[in-house]
Amino acid sequence: MDLDGSIFWYFGGALVLAALAISFVGIKGKASFPPSGPAMWATTAVFAVVVVGTGAYAVANASEEKEHRDAELAEEEAAAEEDVAAEEVAAPTETAPSEPSGGQPPGSGTPEESTAELAVNSPDDGSLVFDPDGLEAAAGTVTLAYANPSPVPHNIAIEDGAGEVLAESEDITAGEVSIEAELVPGAYTYFCSIPGHRESGMEGTLSVGQDSATSN
């Protein structure tokens, strides 16, 4: 229903004018007010028409406004759904990384890094020598496992060709200790770093190559 908003003002104005007119008549003719007979019925009819018309318009207008608001809400919801759908279409799709042909996982063809553990000993009597005094290993992680059965304190350290110490153990007596270093191909020296021991001959050579090797 499409109603003009001015109708409400027409009915309201008519109601106000009728009230003013009746008030004026009542003031001027106090003795004969309220009127009786046809005049009374006519006045009542006018008020009834104005009041009923005003109420009917108010109800109809409220219903029309509700329908209009419902239509606006439906349009807003439809627009929001369209925006969400557009964002989902525009969002990039993540793809899982493809596996190499043959079903092999990535990196399966990479060789494992070489590791080696080499045993080094010194005599029971505390002599200042290493046994053996020469070792070989492949490049990678190299561990020197040193055993000193004597009561004379010793340790073991390893240095590269430039004289840089790569690893060094604590001093031990009648015990065992290990050191570990990542070595590339080249010549290295293992020795006892206690003052005077290396100078007295307590050292050995470690040759590191590309291929696997065993200690002498």
Task: Please report the pLDDT score of residue 215 as a whole number.
Answer: 43
Task: Please report the pLDDT score of residue 213 as a whole number.
Answer: 45
Chain-centroid distance, C-alpha 42: 80
Pairing of strands 175-183, 140-148: antiparallel
Is 107 a residue whose pLDDT tops 50? no
CA distance 160 to 207: 10
CA distance 129 to 207: 18
Answer yes or no: are the C-beta atoms of 141 and 115 closer than 8 Å: yes
CA distance 158 to 68: 89
CA-wise closest residue to 128 among 213, 204, 35: 204
Return the ∠ at Cα 48 (arms to 42 and 50), rounded to 5°: 105
- The pLDDT-based confidence of 83 (bands split at 50, 70, 90) is confident
Task: Output the six-digit token pair for 210.
Answer: 């590309």
Q: How much is the pTM?
A: 0.48
- The pLDDT-based confidence of 52 (bands split at 50, 70, 90) is confident
| Greater model confidence, 91 or 117 | 117
